């Protein structure tokens, strides 16, 4: 079983849903309990404009991502890198050359 990047997309969608839910609460309280003024209307318009702008920018970035990319592939790991963790001088040189080669 591979874990793919789609997990982050679902987390983003859940957080986006919570953001929209709280935004409706904010608008409700501004309309119900706020004074009808140009300042109140300006704040609501500014909030809506910034929200839409952020959603457009994130959507443009998110459409470019391949969501089927696996997070980790344990088949690609070289276990020789982890076997050179001893205290001998030869193992230390192996670790140094592995670090330099990357």
pLDDT digits (tens, 9 = 90+) for 63-89: 999 988 888 766 655 555 565 555 555
- pTM for the predicted model, two decimal places: 0.63
Q: What's the pLDDT at 39?
A: 87
Distance of CA 18 to the CA centre of its chain: 15
Q: What's the pLDDT at 4?
A: 87
Task: Name the more confident of 35 and 15.
Answer: 15
Q: Convert the pLDDT of each residue in 26-70 to its tens digit.
A: 999 988 888 888 888 999 999 999 999 999 999 999 999 998 888
* Helices 38-62 + 6-33 axis angle, to 10: 170
Domain ranges of the chain: 6-62, 74-102
Q: Are 69 and 5 in contact (CB under 8 A)?
A: yes
Kindly state the tokens that stand for 85: 């963790």
Q: How many other CB atoms are there within 10 angstroms of residue 59's CB atom?
A: 9
């Amino acid at each position: 079983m591979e874990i793919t990047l789609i997990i982050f997309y679902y987390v983003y969608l859940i957080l986006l849903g919570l953001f929209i839910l709280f935004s409706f609460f904010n608008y409700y309280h501004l309309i119900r309990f706020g004074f009808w003024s140009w300042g109140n209307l300006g704040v609501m318009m500014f909030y809506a404009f910034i929200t839409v702008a952020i959603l457009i920018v994130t959507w443009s970035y998110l459409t470019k991502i391949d969501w089927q990319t696996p997070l980790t592939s344990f088949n690609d790991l070289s276990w020789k890198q982890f076997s050179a963790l001893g205290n001998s001088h030869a193992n230390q040189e192996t670790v140094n050359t592995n670090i330099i080669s990357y």
